[in-house]
Structure 1
Amino acid sequence: MVAPFETAAFALQKGAVSDVIETDFGFHLIYKLNERPVYEYRLRDILLKTKSANDYIPPAEPWKNTALSGKHVKRATLQFQPQTGEPQVGLDFNDDGKKLFAEITERNVGKPVAIFLDGQALSEPVVQEAIRDGAAVISGSFTIADAKLLVRRLNAGALPVPIQLESQQSVGASLGQDSLDASLKAGLIGFAAVALFMLLYYRLPGLIAILALLLYSSINLALYKTIPVTLTLSGIAGFILSVGMAVDANILIFERTKEELLRGRPLGSAIDEGFRRAWLSIRDSNFTTLISCAILFYTSTSLIKGFAFTLALGVLMSMFSAITVSRTLLRLVGGWRYCQNPALYLAGWTRSGKIDKA
């Protein structure tokens, strides 16, 4: 439809006749019978994206995978730009990586190439030129700390070490609390039984040993809080076992002291000689335990490591408790006039002042 004809047709009312219209095709009269509205439609694409565990419409991945991976990297090093002194990261590839990297850089000059570790982009350097010698440099606005971090991550990604699940345990809250309560109850019952035995058999030295054990336990718990140490069930077992070993050290000392008293030595001399003779046995037995703890700690799972660590810490503290605390308390008490009666140290001492060896 030509413009004059179109203008006249749209201007007419329904049922009217137009004037003579001249166009390039001749002269026209227009009679308007009817008219219908013309609807204009505008189309728009509507993209709905719903966020859930998995997006219904995943985002477009801007990066394309290459065959180059961490196994092709010899090492990453921290370097400095000679002119400006700015930190940069150097990359050295092996023979296979050298070929792959040359192909990638040839195809992507002027484009960014991203370096990924565990699905996260570490760096997105732009390729300045094709690199064929297998040695690349990543430069940019790095701080020294950022460059060092990137070097560590690149070297970590270059290690051919797969991630393996060594162990997995699931303990319910009620079961864990029940086990903890049972362990603490067993420890208290064991401590009470040991204390009763020491009092009945060793008398005054037994009381001193109990005081030394209480101090030993307090020091251990303070160290657990300071280090800090997370106490698991195996760790509690290691602590209880170390208490038993601390008792063993005191028993060795008291037995040697009794032997010296039976030989007729004065109390003070008998105490010193008893500690001197017992020290070698205490040292050797505790050092063998420490060696076993070290082996367990470096070769076992996390549960056994907790047991080994608490046991080793307890053994060290038990040596301190037996040799320092027990000895100091025993010599202090032995100097008192009312505590010099041998009957307080020997269960077989009779009223006549003789030792009943039977």
Structure 2
Amino acid sequence: APAPAPGADQQTPELIQKAKAARQDAGLVTGTGDSIAASGTASQALAAFTCAIQDPLRGNDDPNLPLLACNQDGTEKYLLGPVFLQGSEIDSAAASPPTQNKAGWTVDLTFKSAGRQIWGDFTTKNRGQRAAFVLDTQVVSAPTIQTAIVDGNTQISGSFTQQQTKDLADVLRYGSLPLSFTSSDATTVSATLGLASLEAGLIAGAIGLLLVFVYSLFYYRLLGALTIVSLALSGAMVYAVLVLLGRWIGFTLDLAGVAGFIISIGVTADSFVVFFERLKDEIREGRSFRSAVPRGWVRARRTILASDAILFLASAVLYAIAVGDVQGFAFTLGLSTVLDLVVVFLVTHPLVALASRSKTLSNPKLTGLGGVQSVSAERRTARKAATAAAKEA
């Protein structure tokens, strides 16, 4: 990487000192207090001053010195005296709509007790002069004092729109608040370590998915194959949604998100297990595979909806109260839970129903339901034998 330019770290302090020397020179004004006035060099300094978008004095100006400043649009320049009244002395500021006594929108503001006295003295001695309200070295309003305001109830009028008066009132009311921000979560991970961790998480997810595939094929056979198809489709849908979210809102998949995705594999597989076990229960009661599918689906559907609803609610609460990586985990888990319902209702159940109507696909050797059907046949035989014995008796 190229070496930084000499003095690059000192650029900002140098700009601040240079701006202060040019715009906050004590010689720009003469006199003190109520007798303050522009000096002979002020007009020349004001003419040489240009309004800039990035002001190095923003947050770095000295309130006890005069200041060359611009309005927010950069269309008007001002020579301001030292600050005589802090914004923290403003008690309230609100936009006021037109009434019978005034034609347009105005901003009504009041001052606290100490500020009311200072403002009253200033307006009494400076009628016909302009008073500037300044925020971050920018003049947000510079109205002309029409009369002495001894009670602190001040009204700023002009050719304002409703939005302009609201914006000005917000600046006057909140602009002087001492705001500070604290970092709730910060994690620094090198690019190599982050990539390695992400790859390890994806490998773990692939291994878990493979184990689910093997178990499903071993235990459910054809139904296990339908499980694999459904899981593959669910994963593709999750990936597609994450890609779209990445393009729309800049969402990125982190380690916590990968963990949520891995857990969602178990959630989706659990829905299939619930459905298939309900099918087995129906077949044990003596029903055929075809007749067991609709009855088993009705019973399994309630359980699947209840479990996914609880999991989604937990994910939503966790996302709302957590920060940082935990939010990524909750978001991915909640998203996968919703997509699980889509896959189970629109893919898995219809595929199982189609398989139950096919003579080839409903073969007990293929479906893995042969043992359950044997149990059902034995129960029917036992019931018939018991019935016959009862009749003979």
Separation (CA, whole Å) in 2 of partners of 1:68 and 1:258? 78
Instruction: State TM-score, norm by structure 2.
Output: 0.66
Superposed CA offset, 1:243-263 (max 9, x none):
221111111111111111122
Aligned to 1:271: 293
Offset at 1:115? 3.6
Instruction: State TM-score, norm by structure 1.
Output: 0.71
Offset at 1:338? 1.1
Separation (CA, whole Å) in 1 of partners of 2:133 and 2:96? 19
Separation (CA, whole Å) in 2 of partners of 1:271 and 1:127? 83
Aligned to 2:18: 57
Offset at 1:146? 4.4
Q: Which amino acid aligns with 1:190?
A: G
Q: Percent identity?
A: 29
Aligned to 1:336: 358
* Cα distance change of structure 1 residues 111 and 156 upon mapping to structure 2, 3 Å threshold: closer
Runs of 5+ unmatched residues, structure 1: 1-50
Aligned to 1:289: 311
| 2:95 and 2:105 in contact (8 A); partners too | no
Equivalence map 1:79-228=2 (5 Å): 79-80=97-98, 86-93=104-111, 98=116, 101-102=119-120, 105-106=123-124, 109=127, 110-116=129-135, 119=136, 121=138, 123-128=140-145, 129-140=147-158, 142-153=160-171, 157=175, 162-224=180-242, 225-226=244-245, 228=249
| 2:93 and 2:107 in contact (8 A); partners too | no
Separation (CA, whole Å) in 2 of partners of 1:169 and 1:108? 55
**Alignment RMSD:** 3.3
Superposed CA offset, 1:296-315 (max 9, x none):
22222122122212211211
Aligned to 1:316: 338
Superposed CA offset, 1:141-188 (max 9, x none):
545554444455555547776422222222222222222222222222
Q: Which amino acid aligns with 1:54?
A: P
* Cα distance change of structure 1 residues 191 and 73 upon mapping to structure 2, 3 Å threshold: farther
* Cα distance change of structure 1 residues 294 and 70 upon mapping to structure 2, 3 Å threshold: farther
Separation (CA, whole Å) in 1 of partners of 2:311 and 2:327? 14
Separation (CA, whole Å) in 2 of partners of 1:122 and 1:243? 59
* Cα distance change of structure 1 residues 107 and 333 upon mapping to structure 2, 3 Å threshold: farther
Greater per-residue helix proportion: 2
Greater C-alpha Rg? 1
* Cα distance change of structure 1 residues 126 and 297 upon mapping to structure 2, 3 Å threshold: same
Offset at 1:266? 2.1
Tell me the number of residue pairs that the alignment of Structure 1 and Structure 2 aligns.
303
Runs of 5+ unmatched residues, structure 2: 1-9, 25-66, 68-79, 379-393
| 2:130 and 2:144 in contact (8 A); partners too | yes
Q: Which amino acid aligns with 1:121?
A: Q
